[in-house]
Structure 1
Amino acid sequence: MVPGASASAQETIDHSLPPPPFLDRMQPFEAVQAANAGLQIEVDRLAAEQLADHRALGELLAGIAPQRPGTVDAYVLVIALDSDPVFAREARQAAIVLERRYDAAGRSIMLAGPDGQAIGGLPRPTARGTPASLSIALAHIAATMDVEEDVLVLFTTSHGTPNGLYYHYGDQGFGGLSPSRLRGIFDELGIENRLVIVNACFSGIFVSGLSSDSSAIVSAASAGLTSFGCSPGNDWTFFGDAFVNRALRQPQPLGAAFEAARELVGQWEDEQGLPASQPKFSIGRGAIGWLSELESRMPRIATPPVGRSPAEEN
Structure 2
Amino acid sequence: MKSSQVIHCWRVLAALLITTVLFGCAELSPTNPEAQQQSMTLERQQDAQAVRDTATPATGRRVWFAGFAMSSASTAFQNDMELVSSRLSELGGPVVKYEDSNGQQTGRLRYPFATPATLAEAVQHISSHAGPDDIVVVFISTHGNRKILGVNAAHKEFQPMTAGELSAALAPLGKRPTVVILSACFAGSFLPELQGERRIVITAASGERASFGCQPASRNTFFTEGLFATDFDASKSLSQLMAQAKVEIARREHVLKFPNSEPQMSVGLKVRWLAERPLKDWFQPGNEINDAPPVAPLSLLGDAGKNAYRKYQSEPSPRAFVISSGGAGQYAVGTTPKDASLPSDPAARALALCNRRGLADCRLYAVDDRVVWSEH
Question: Where on the TM-score scale, by shorter chain, does this alignment land: which range?
Answer: 0.7 to 0.9
SS of corresponding position for 1:246: coil
Out of 98, 105, 113, the residue aligned to residue 109 of structure 1 is 98
Q: Matched residues in 1 for 2:40 and 2:157: separation?
A: 15
The code of the aligned residue for 2:140 comes to T
Structure 2 unaligned spans of 5+:
1-17, 22-27, 284-376
Look up the match of 1:61.
47
SS of corresponding position for 2:269: coil
Q: Matched residues in 2 for 1:63 and 1:125: separation?
A: 15
Deviations for 1:218-269, whole angstroms, at most 9, x for unmatched residues? 1000001100010111111111110111254442111010000001000001
Q: Matched residues in 2 for 1:246 and 1:72: separation?
A: 27
Rg (Cα) greater in structure: 2
Deviations for 1:161-186, whole angstroms, at most 9, x for unmatched residues? 11221111124450212222222222
1:40-119 matches, cutoff 5 A: 45-64=31-50, 65-66=53-54, 68=57, 71-84=60-73, 85-101=75-91, 103-105=93-95, 107-114=96-103
Q: Matched residues in 1 for 2:196 and 2:30: separation?
A: 40
Deviations for 1:263-295, whole angstroms, at most 9, x for unmatched residues? 100000111110110000111120134556673
Deviations for 1:143-168, whole angstroms, at most 9, x for unmatched residues? 0002x211210111000011221111
CA contact (8 A) 2:209 2:261 kept: yes
Which structure is richer in relative contact order (CA contacts within 8 A, separation 6 or more)? 1
Q: CA offset at residue 44 of structure 1?
A: 7.9
Look up the match of 2:118.
133
Q: Does 1:169 align with 2:153?
A: yes
Q: Matched residues in 2 for 1:134 and 1:149: separation?
A: 21
Q: CA offset at residue 99 of structure 1?
A: 3.0
CA contact (8 A) 1:162 1:224 kept: yes
SS of corresponding position for 2:138: strand
Q: Matched residues in 1 for 2:259 and 2:86: separation?
A: 31
CA contact (8 A) 1:159 1:166 kept: yes
Out of 149, 164, 171, the residue aligned to residue 133 of structure 2 is 149
Q: Does 1:256 align with 2:240?
A: yes
Deviations for 1:25-73, whole angstroms, at most 9, x for unmatched residues? xxxxxxxxxxxxxxxxx98822111111110111112111228466222
TM-score (structure 1 length as normaliser): 0.73
Out of 212, 216, 220, the residue aligned to residue 228 of structure 1 is 212
TM-score (structure 2 length as normaliser): 0.62
Q: Matched residues in 2 for 1:100 and 1:196: separation?
A: 19
Q: Matched residues in 2 for 1:226 and 1:61: separation?
A: 35
CA contact (8 A) 1:87 1:157 kept: yes
CA RMSD of aligned residues (A): 2.8
The code of the aligned residue for 1:223 comes to G
Q: CA offset at residue 93 of structure 1?
A: 1.7
Look up the match of 1:36.
none
Q: Does 1:244 align with 2:234?
A: no
The code of the aligned residue for 1:127 comes to P
Question: Which shifted more, 85-94 or 180-189?
Answer: 180-189
SS of corresponding position for 2:187: coil
CA contact (8 A) 2:102 2:154 kept: no
The code of the aligned residue for 2:116 comes to P
CA contact (8 A) 2:134 2:176 kept: no
Question: Which shifted more, 175-184 or 271-280?
Answer: 175-184
Out of 199, 202, 210, the residue aligned to residue 215 of structure 1 is 199
CA contact (8 A) 1:162 1:223 kept: yes
Q: Matched residues in 1 for 2:276 and 2:249: separation?
A: 26
Q: Matched residues in 1 for 2:38 and 2:261: separation?
A: 38
- Aligned residue pairs, count: 254
Deviations for 1:194-231, whole angstroms, at most 9, x for unmatched residues? 10110000001222321111111110000011000101
Look up the match of 1:198.
182
The code of the aligned residue for 1:158 comes to T
Deviations for 1:104-134, whole angstroms, at most 9, x for unmatched residues? 43x0221113458xxxxxxx95222111111
